[in-house]
C-alpha cells in the first residue's frame, strides 16, 4: 500500500472532498436520486464550520477519502450523546478502495476520541453498507440497535458503537 496520511482537511481540498464523497456514495449505490443529500455531501466548507473534517491523502497529496467528526451536542452530531464522539460521511474514492484508506480514517477518529478522553465512538450506517459494516466490526465496533434511526422511511440507518 502506498503512503496514506490523515489530517485536518484544508479549504483548498474541500471541493475535491465533496466530489469524492458524492462519487463514492453514487458508485456504492447509496445516493440514488437524493439531490438534496448530494448537495449536503458536497458542502464540506459548511460542515467544517461546525465539525471536523479529516482527509486522507497519498504521498502526492491526492485526496483518497474523508470523514466528518462531530462531538455530542454539536450541529452535525445525529446520534452522539454526552461522552461520545460521532463520525459521519466516511467515504473513500472508488479508485482508492481496498488500500486501507477507510481503516486509516476510522482509526484516526478513534485516536481523536482517546486523545480527548471521550469514552465512546458512535456512527450511523445505511443498512446495506455491508463492506463498511465489516470494517467497523473488524476494528471493534459493535451493532448498537438503540442508535438505529431513519432520516426518511426508505433510508434505515444502523447504529454502531465502540468503547475506547
- Least confident range from 39-43, 63-67, 76-80, 153-157: namely 153-157
pTM of the model: 0.95
pLDDT at 31: 83
pLDDT at 1: 47
Q: Which domains, from first to last, does the chain contain?
A: 5-163 (3.40.630.30)
Mean pLDDT computed over 106-111: 98
The single residue listed with the C-alpha cell 463492506 is: 131
At residue 70, does pLDDT exceed 70? yes
Query: pLDDT by residue (tens digit) across 77-107?
Result: 999 999 999 999 999 999 999 999 999 999 9
DSSP state of 10: P
At residue 59, does pLDDT exceed 80? yes
pLDDT at 24: 95
Query: pLDDT by residue (tens digit) across 42-54?
Result: 999 999 999 999 9
Mean pLDDT computed over 115-140: 96
Q: Which three cell numbers stand for residue 66?
A: 474523508
pLDDT at 35: 66
Confidence bin at 154 (pLDDT 50/70/90): confident
Cβ atoms of 161 and 144 closer than 8 Å:
yes
pLDDT at 19: 97
Question: Under DSSP, is residue 31 helix (H, G, I), strand (E, B) or coil?
Answer: coil
CA distance 46 to 80: 20
Average pLDDT over the chain reads 95
Query: pLDDT by residue (tens digit) across 30-42?
Result: 887 666 889 999 9
What radius of gyration, in Å, describes the C-alpha atoms of the chain? 15
CA distance 68 to 89: 6
DSSP state of 164: -
Amino acid at each position: 500500500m502506498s503512503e496514506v496520511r490523515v489530517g485536518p482537511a484544508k479549504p483548498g481540498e474541500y471541493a475535491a472532498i465533496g466530489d469524492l464523497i458524492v462519487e463514492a456514495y453514487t458508485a456504492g449505490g447509496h445516493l440514488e436520486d437524493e439531490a438534496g443529500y448530494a448537495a449536503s455531501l458536497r458542502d464540506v466548507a459548511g460542515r467544517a464550520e461546525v465539525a471536523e473534517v479529516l482527509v486522507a491523502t497519498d504521498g502526492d497529496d491526492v485526496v483518497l477519502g474523508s470523514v466528518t467528526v462531530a462531538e455530542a451536542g454539536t450541529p452535525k452530531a445525529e446520534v452522539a450523546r454526552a461522552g461520545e464522539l460521532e463520525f459521519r460521511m466516511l467515504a473513500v474514492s472508488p479508485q482508492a478502495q481496498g488500500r486501507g484508506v477507510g481503516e486509516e480514517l476510522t482509526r484516526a477518529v478513534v485516536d481523536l476520541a482517546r486523545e480527548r478522553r471521550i469514552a465512546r465512538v458512535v456512527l450511523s450506517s445505511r443498512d446495506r453498507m455491508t463492506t463498511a459494516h465489516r470494517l467497523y466490526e473488524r476494528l471493534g465496533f459493535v451493532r448498537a440497535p438503540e442508535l438505529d434511526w431513519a432520516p426518511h422511511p426508505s433510508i434505515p440507518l444502523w447504529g454502531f458503537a465502540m468503547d475506547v
